[in-house]
Amino acid sequence: MFNLKNTNMEDKVYFNPGDLVRVSKLNKKSKNVIIGPDMIVKGRYIEDGEFAGLVCFWFTEDKKYQEATFNTKDLELVEL
């Protein structure tokens, strides 16, 4: 489990794999599912790296799988 928080200091939001989110700067109707953190490896081990964002996936209207990394400040948790 990854407890990664939104970097906005006003609203601390913790994201976990499987959470349903939307990208605030993009289409509000689009919903993505968090896979986990994306790390930039700077050494031999992932622990030596830096956090790059959260990897999310979604399906397009024509049922194609898409995946991208987003900054936590651009993600909004979707309430079910």
- Rounded to whole angstroms, the Cα distance separating 80 from 63 reads 22
Residue 44: per-residue pLDDT: 74
Largest CA distance in the chain: 40
| Buried-state track 46-65, b at ≥16 Cβ within 10 A, e below 16 | eeeeeeebbbbebeeeeeee
For the whole model, what pTM was predicted?
0.74
Which of 32, 2, 26 has its CA nearest to residue 74?
A: 26
Q: Mean pLDDT score of the chain, rounded to an integer?
A: 82
Cβ(40)–Cβ(58) below 8 Å: no
pLDDT tens for residues 12-42? 678 999 999 999 887 667 899 999 989 887 7
Residues in the chain: 80
Residue 50 has pLDDT above 90, yes or no: no
Query: 2: which 2 tokens?
Result: 């990854």
- The rounded percent of the chain whose pLDDT value lies above 70 is 78
